Amino acid sequence: MYKLVLIRHGESTWNLENRFTGWTDVELTPTGVAQATMAGKLLKDAGFDFDIAYTSMLKRAIHTLWYVLDEMERSWLAIGKHWRLNERHYGALQGLDKSETAKKYGDEQVLIWRRSYDTPPPALEASDSRCERSDRRYERLSPDDIPLTECLKDTVERVMPFWNEVLAPSIKSGKRVVVSAHGNSIRALVKYLDNISDKDIVGLNIPNGIPLVYELDESLKPIRHYYLGDAEAAEAAAAAVAKQGKA
Ligand SMILES: O=C(O)[C@@H](CO)OP(=O)(O)O
């Protein structure tokens, strides 16, 4: 049996301000740092250890991983950073207040933009100063790989090559893998792993900074999954994420 640990980054400044974030590179808050440190402690106390870590190109996930590994005394571990693990691109909503947006367009429309499987939020213009196409960290990508908006389906399509080419082979080779990523890039992975329908994925929310453990069989099919620590607290934190898009 293999184990894979997924961690959504700790609370970010824009989580705290309740703004759509996507590919915007915002920092952890002190609460986010405490959540990441606690995630490391939970993992260490439960006897977890890792051989390799992966994260996105965004500092809220990178720093979360640093705090987790530091707490586990594994700061020396190899870390792979990849844009395919970035948060779902939120298009022209990036930077807007979620509940103000719900007041303007209605809770239902915001739920569609936040959680529908195949309806993307309005796209950014490539000329918009928020567009990441001129960001040096993505200079090796073709501009077309850098989204102007994404629905979860698009995120699944960009995350899956990373699963197939990096994560799955790494796990199958016997490496113990931890991934620090984002609410929607993790939802994309979970949708694939648990074969969740396009309809049911709408109701799935991932809390900040709580390790999500997958036990996988020889062919990497999930046997079971669970949040480390207090299961009720994890459920309450996921329910709070669901409410963020209400007026
Ligand atoms: O703003 C975002 O990028 C994501 C994660 O914080 O939010 P949501 O839960 O609304 O998809």
In the chain, the number of structural domains is: 1
CA dist 125 and 148 (Å) reads: 7
- Best substitution site from 13, 20, 58 to test ligand 1's pocket, by max atoms within 8 Å of Cβ? 20
pLDDT in tens, 77-132: 999 999 999 999 999 999 999 999 999 999 999 999 999 999 999 999 999 999 99
Residue 59 belongs to a domain: yes
Residue 167 belongs to a domain: no
Which residue CA neighbors atom 11 of ligand 1 most closely? 114
Residue 162 belongs to a domain: no
Sign of CA dihedral 98, 132, 156, 220: negative
pLDDT in tens, 31-56: 999 999 999 999 999 999 999 999 99
Q: Ligand 1 centroid vs 185 CA: distance in angstroms?
A: 10
β-bridge mates for residue 124, sequence order:
none
CA dist 100 and 18 (Å) reads: 9
Q: Between vectors from CA 9 to CA 193 and to CA 65, what angle results, nearest 5°?
A: 95
Residue 206 belongs to a domain: yes
Is 150 tagged catalytic?
no
The ipTM of this complex is 0.95
> Does 184 contact ligand 1 (Cβ within 6 A)?
yes
Would you state the structure tokens that stand for residue 167, as one six-digit string?
A: 């994560």
- Known binding-site residues for substrate equal 8-15, 21-22, 60, 87-90, 98, 114-115, 183-184
> Does 29 contact ligand 1 (Cβ within 6 A)?
no
Residue 157 belongs to a domain: no
Residue 69 sits in which domain range? 2-147+173-243
- Burial (Cβ within 10 Å: 0-12, 13-18, ≥19) of residue 130: middle
> Letter for the amino acid at 63?
H
| H or E, element range at 213 | strand 212-216
Q: Could you say which of 63, 71, 87, 150 is catalytic?
A: 87
CA dist 175 and 187 (Å) reads: 23
> Does 23 contact ligand 1 (Cβ within 6 A)?
no
Residue 158 belongs to a domain: no
CA dist 133 and 143 (Å) reads: 6
Would you state the structure tokens that stand for residue 60, as one six-digit string?
A: 């809220």
Under DSSP, the state recorded for 238 is H
Which residue CA neighbors atom 2 of ligand 1 most closely? 21
Residue 200 belongs to a domain: yes
CATH number of the domain bearing residue 14: 3.40.50.1240
> How many CB atoms are closer than 10 A to CB 240?
12
Looking at the whole model, is its pTM more than 0.95? yes
